[in-house]
Amino acid sequence: MNRIKLLALMLLCTIAAMAQAAADGGTRTLRSPNENMLLWFGIDGGRPCYSIAYKQRPVVKRSYLGLQLAKDKHASKKMDETDLMDGFELADSKESTFDETWKPVWGETRDIRNHYNELEVALKQRGTGRRMILRFRVYDDGVGLRYEFPQQKELNYFVIKEEKTQFAMTGDHTAWWIPGDYDTQEQETQESRLSEIRQRFHDAVNWGNSSVAVFSETGVQTALQMKSEDGLYINIHEAACIDYATMHLNLDDRTMTFESWLTPDATGMKGYMQTPCQTPWRTILVSDDARDMLSSNLILNLNEPCKIEDTSWIHPTKYCGVWWEMIVGKSAWNYTDEFPSVKLGLTDYDKAKPNGRHGATTEKVRQYIDFAAENGLDQVLVEGWNIGWEDWANMWKQDVFDFTTPYPDFDLKALNEYAHSKGVRLMMHHETSSSVVNYERHLTDAFNLMNKYGYDAVKTGYVGDIIPRGDHHFSQSMNNHYLHVVKEAAKHHIMVNAHEAVRPTGLCRTYPNLVGNESARGTEYEAFGGSRPDHTVILPFTRLQGGPMDYTPGILETQLGTWSDNPNFVHTTLAGQLALYLTMYSPLQMAADLPGNYRKYDDAFQFIRDVACDWDESIYLEAEPARYITVARKAKGTDKWFIGGKCNEDGHKSVIRLDFLDKGRTYDCTVYADAKDADYEKNPKAYVITKRKVRKGDVLRLTEARGGGFAVSLM
Ligand code: NOJ
Ligand code: CA
C-alpha cells in the first residue's frame, strides 16, 4: 500500500472511530486547511454531537452539545422553557473557507493570519420548530465552535439554566488547573492527572479569599492546559465572551468528560437571552508541539475585527508606580488612621491627621515622575490618590470612592503638569472595591476628570464581593459591565487595564484599548507569601491564552526584608525577573520595583530600560508547560531582538541558534544570566552580565538556575 492510500485508510478508520455508534444521519466531516485537524459532526438520538482528531489521533471523543433552559418562576409566558438539548434534525449545512491576514494595533506579531474552514449546521427542533445554528471553525491548530440563535417567532426570550457543551477527553491527561470559582482566579495552579483533581481540590482552593464560590469538587477554570500521555497538548478556553457568563468546566472523572458550567448571577440563572444572539466560541487548541500552544492566534481570530476607528491614541506602555511599596506594606493607600470608616461627603480630610504612611504624596509622586523620565518609562501609576481608602474593602459598602476627589496631600493638577513637562503621563487608578453600581454612576465624571488632566490609561480593580450583592465576578451582567467600561473608556480615548475582572477571551482584538488584565495570580502574591517558581511557566499556557496580563514583573530586590518588614521573597532569581518581560507577553509592562532598588541593580535595570513591549515577530524557541519557555521577539519597527528564557524550580539549559537574525549584520549582544551559584531561594541576586558581538547562526548556551531565567538584548 502506498503512503497516500495508507493515510486515506487511517483517516477513514479515525472517522469511523470518532463516529462510534451510528448517528441519526446528517453527519459531516471537515478538515483544517493543512488537513491536520479533523472535525466530525453528527446527530445522535436528536442530540447534536461532535468529535475532533489531530493527525489521525482522537482528541475529543463524541461529545454532546445543548442548553438547558430555565423554568424561571419570574418568567412570563413569553419565555421559551423547553430545553435546547434534543429533538434536533439537520435542516441545512454549509461549508466555507476563510483566509485573511490582519494587523493588530499592538501584539506579538505584526501580521496575524486567520485561516480556517467553516461548517455551519442549521438544526431544527421537532415539535417546537425552533432553529439553532452550530458553527464550527477548523484551524490547523484547533477548533472553535459556538451556538447561534436566529431571530424567530419560535424562540424569542429565553433564560439559560446551564449550557451543556461537552469535551470528552481520550484519557487521564495531565492537567494544569485552578479550581472553578465564580469570583476569583488568583489561585496557584495545580498539576495533576484529571483523575486526581477531586482529591486535590480542597487544598487547591484559596479559602482565605473573601469571595470563594466553588461549585463542584471537579470544577476547573479555563484556559485549561492538558497534555496526553502520548504527547498531545490540548487547551480548552473560550473566545469573544460577550453578553454571556464565563464558562467553567466540570469534570465527570469516570468518563473524563468535561461539561461547561456557567457562572450564575444573583438569581442563580446563567444567561438572559433574546434572539438573535449567540454564545461565545468554545475553543480547543491541539498540537504535538507545546510551542504551538503559545504562538496560536485562534482565540484572537475568533473575535470580531477592531471596532475602534481611530486607534492612534492606543499605545504600548512601560510604566512604574507608587504601588509595590503599598503591596509590600511599607506605605499605605489610606491618608489617615483617624477614621475607622468614612462616609463619602461627610469626612473633612483637611482636618484629619495624616497617618504619615500615605504613599501617594505629591513629593513621592514627583520622585517617581523624575525616575520615569530619567529611564524612558512612559507612565507612573499612582494608587491611593483619591479619598475613600480608609474602609474600602469587604464592608458590603456601596458608596466607597467617587474617583474624582484627591487626598489633600496629592496635588492632582500640579503633578500632571509636572509629569507632562517631563514627557511622562500619570496613570489613573480606579479601585471599585467591586461596588459596580457606584462605579457606573461615577464613570463619566471620572473619565472627564482624566481627560481634563491628560491621563490616557486607567487601572481598574474589583477587590471583594460584587455589589449589586449576590452577583458574581464572572456572570453575564458583570461581563457586560467590564465591556461597558472598556467601550466608554474608548469614547474618552482611555486605555484600560482591569484587575480582578473576568479572564480575557481575546476581546482586545475588537477593543484594543483593553491593553491589560490581571485576572490571575500576579506578582503581588510574592509579597503575600509567594507563588511557586513554575507559576510563570504555566500562565502563558493558561491565563495568557485570552489576552495579555499585567503581571507587574521586574522585582530585582527579590528579598523584601532588605527594605521593609515583609519577610517574604520573590520566587525567582533576579535574572528570572528580567526574563518575564519576554515570556509574559503584554503591551503594558510595569517596572514594578522601587526606584531605589533599581538604582541598586542599575546594570541589570538596563535591560528593563531597553526592552520593547510591542513586536513585529515572536518566535517560541522552546516550551514545556510548567518547565520552561524561551522566546525571541523582534521589537516593532526596529532591528532589535530580545530573548527571554524562564524555567521552574529544576533549572534549565538552553541552546539558542541565532538563525532568526538578519544575514550579514553584527549585533551587540548583552546577556543577563543567572550566576553559576544562583538559586531563587538561596542566592537569588547572583547574576552575570556579558557582552559580545554575534551574527546570524551563532549559538548561545545559557544555564538557568533553580527558579531562574535569562534575558538577552541584541541591538
Ligand atoms: C488588587 C490589585 O491586584 C492590586 O494591583 C491593587 O494594588 C490592589 N488591588 C488595590 O487596588
Ligand atoms: Ca489582584
Per-residue pLDDT reduced to its tens digit, 227-237: 999 999 999 99
Cell numbers for 119, please give them.
461548517
Q: Ligand 1 centre and the CA of 596: distance in Å? A: 22
Which residues have CB under 8 Å from 463's CB, separation 6+?
Answer: 210, 392, 393, 431, 433, 434, 499, 500
Name the residue type at position 159. Answer: V
Q: Ligand 2 centre and the CA of 498: distance in Å? A: 10
Cell numbers for 44, please give them.
445522535
Closest-lying ligand 1 atom to the alpha carbon of residue 327: 7
Determine the average pLDDT of the residues in 384-406.
94
**For residue 17, is pLDDT > 80?**
no
Q: Which ligand is nearest to the CA of 209?
A: 2
- Give first-to-last CA distance, the chain, whole Å: 54
Q: Which ligand is nearest to the CA of 327?
A: 1
| Cβ 225 vs Cβ 542: under 8 Å | yes
Evaluated on CA atoms 15, 18, 21, 25, the torsion sign reads: negative
Q: Ligand 1 centre and the CA of 108: distance in Å? A: 26
User: E strands within 288-361?
Assistant: 317-322
Name the residue type at position 141. Answer: D
Closest-lying ligand 1 atom to the alpha carbon of residue 500: 3
Within 10 A of 399 (CB to CB), how many other CB atoms are there? Answer: 16
Residue 592: what pLDDT? Answer: 98
Evaluated on CA atoms 124, 125, 128, 133, the torsion sign reads: negative
Within 10 A of 22 (CB to CB), how many other CB atoms are there? Answer: 9
Which residues have CB under 8 Å from 317's CB, separation 6+?
Answer: 378, 379, 427, 457, 495, 515, 587, 588, 589, 613
**For residue 8, is pLDDT > 70?**
no
The per-residue b/e assignment along 694-710, b for 16 or more CB within 10 angstroms, e otherwise, is: beeeeebebbbbbbbbb
Name the residue type at position 90. Answer: L
Residue 21: what pLDDT? Answer: 45
Residue 344: what pLDDT? Answer: 73
The per-residue DSSP string of 479-526 comes to HHHHHHHHHHHHHTT-EEEEESSPPP-SGGGT-TTEEEE--S--THHH
Lining ligand 1 with CB less than 6 A are 323, 327, 383, 431, 461, 463, 499, 518, 522, 524
Element (H, E) at 712: strand 709-714
> What is the widest separation between alpha-carbon atoms in the chain?
91
| pLDDT band at 121; cut points 50, 70, 90 | very high
- Going by alpha carbons, the residue nearest to atom 11 of ligand 1 is 431
Cell numbers for 107, please give them.
501584539
Q: What is the pTM of this model?
A: 0.96
Determine the average pLDDT of the residues in 233-257.
98
**For residue 15, is pLDDT > 60?**
no
Q: Ligand 1 centre and the CA of 354: distance in Å? A: 22
Q: Ligand 2 centre and the CA of 504: distance in Å? A: 15
Name the residue type at position 250. Answer: N
Beta pairing class for 379-382 and 317-322:
parallel
| Residue of 381, 390, 497, 524 to mutate, ligand 1, most atoms within 8 A of C-beta | 524
Name the catalytic one among 524, 526, 557, 704.
Answer: 524
Nearest alpha carbon to residue 703 among 607, 606, 575: 575
Per-residue pLDDT reduced to its tens digit, 173-204: 999 999 999 999 999 999 999 999 999 999 99
Across the chain, mean pLDDT equals: 95
Please provide the size of the chain in residues: 715
**For residue 73, is pLDDT > 70?**
no
Residue 341: what pLDDT? Answer: 75
Per-residue pLDDT reduced to its tens digit, 543-589: 999 999 999 999 999 999 999 999 999 999 999 999 999 999 999 99
617 flagged as catalytic: no
Residue 7: what pLDDT? Answer: 47
**For residue 12, is pLDDT > 70?**
no
| pLDDT band at 74; cut points 50, 70, 90 | low
Q: Ligand 2 centre and the CA of 502: distance in Å? A: 11
Percent of the chain whose pLDDT exceeds 70 = 95
Go through the domains of the chain in sequence order and give each one's CATH number.
Answer: 3-301 (2.70.98.10), 317-613 (3.20.20.70)
| Residue of 324, 401, 431 to mutate, ligand 1, most atoms within 8 A of C-beta | 431
Determine the average pLDDT of the residues in 122-149.
98
Question: If DSSP codes are grouped into helix, strand and coil, which group holds residue 641?
Answer: strand
| Residue of 463, 497, 523 to mutate, ligand 1, most atoms within 8 A of C-beta | 463
Residue 76: what pLDDT? Answer: 58
CA angle at 87 for the pair 84 and 88, rounded to the nearest 5°: 80
Residue 110: what pLDDT? Answer: 98
- Going by alpha carbons, the residue nearest to atom 6 of ligand 1 is 461
Closest-lying ligand 1 atom to the alpha carbon of residue 429: 11
